[in-house]
Amino acid sequence: MAFSATANAELKVATVDVQKLFADYYKTHEAQAEVDKAAQAVQQDNNTRAESIKKMEADFTEMVKKLQDPSLNEKDKKDLEQKAQITRQQAIALEQERRTYVERQLKSLQEQMKLRSTNIMGEITKVAEGIATKSNYDLVLDKSAQALRSNNVFVYTKPSMDITPTVMKELNKDAPAGFDPTKKKTPAVPAAPAAPAK
């Protein structure tokens, strides 16, 4: 028991805020900027498609109104009905295509961000491990870790144990000039572009 107490007393422990490291790492910002740019392109494409569908729906509505004209002869009425039906079917098909396109593109962007995030976490872990080894730490705890009920795993950690600034400095040593981690803290999954107005 005395030997065990001595061993525990000599244990060198550090803490690190992994969430902060992830949020303030320049590569996280670069990855999110790329995903945001791609999401904007999807949004623009979606808007263009939505406008085309909206115009077709307006044309269909206009044709339906013309069909109410009593002066319309039977042949013209039949032709207009056929044209209206084709327009409506095309609009429905294009709307389905638009929705499928948006879902597919956003799923791809989410997968890209997930992969980039996994790689970034690997880099953070590697740098933290290197600093821990160099400083001869026996144990490094993630003080941002949360339990299943979203409460912090570690209620309190001594500030002097925190090596987050040291790890952050190493991670961002190659950051582009003028990089400011406070501009955008948490990467977000791209939001789904809105459906066209009915």
Sequential pLDDT tens for the chain (198 residues): 444 545 555 789 999 999 999 999 999 999 999 999 999 999 999 999 999 999 999 999 999 999 999 998 999 999 999 999 999 999 999 999 999 999 999 999 999 999 999 999 999 999 999 999 999 999 999 999 988 777 888 888 889 999 999 999 999 999 999 998 887 544 444 444 444 434
| Per-residue confidence (pLDDT) for residue 3, from 0 to 100 | 46
Q: Report the alpha-carbon distance of residue 22 to residue 91 in Å, rounded.
A: 44
Torsion angle (degrees, nearest 10) of CA 67, 68, 73, 74? 60
CA distances from 46 to 33, 52, 103, 134, 152 (A): 20, 10, 11, 51, 41
Whether 190 is covered by a domain: the verdict is no
Whether 90 is covered by a domain: the verdict is yes
Whether 33 is covered by a domain: the verdict is yes
Whether 182 is covered by a domain: the verdict is no
CA distances from 151 to 8, 23, 144, 145, 156 (A): 27, 20, 10, 9, 12
* Nearest in space to 127 (alpha carbons), one of 176, 178, 164: 164
Whether 176 is covered by a domain: the verdict is no
| Per-residue confidence (pLDDT) for residue 198, from 0 to 100 | 40
Whether 197 is covered by a domain: the verdict is no
Q: Are 105 and 44 in contact (CB under 8 A)?
A: no
* Nearest in space to 90 (alpha carbons), one of 65, 116, 63: 63
The CB density around residue 164, as the number of other CB atoms within 10 Å, is 19
* Nearest in space to 17 (alpha carbons), one of 120, 186, 167, 118: 167
Whether 195 is covered by a domain: the verdict is no
- For residue 111, the number of C-alpha atoms closer than 13 Å in the C-beta half-sphere is 6
Number of domains making up the chain: 1
Rg (CA), the chain: 29
| Per-residue confidence (pLDDT) for residue 190, from 0 to 100 | 42
Whether 78 is covered by a domain: the verdict is yes
Q: Are 92 and 162 in contact (CB under 8 A)?
A: no
- For residue 173, the number of C-alpha atoms closer than 13 Å in the C-beta half-sphere is 8
**DSSP H or E run through 22:** helix 18-24
| Per-residue confidence (pLDDT) for residue 31, from 0 to 100 | 95
Q: Report the alpha-carbon distance of residue 21 to residue 26 in Å, rounded.
A: 10
Range of the domain at 137: 2-171
| Per-residue confidence (pLDDT) for residue 154, from 0 to 100 | 84
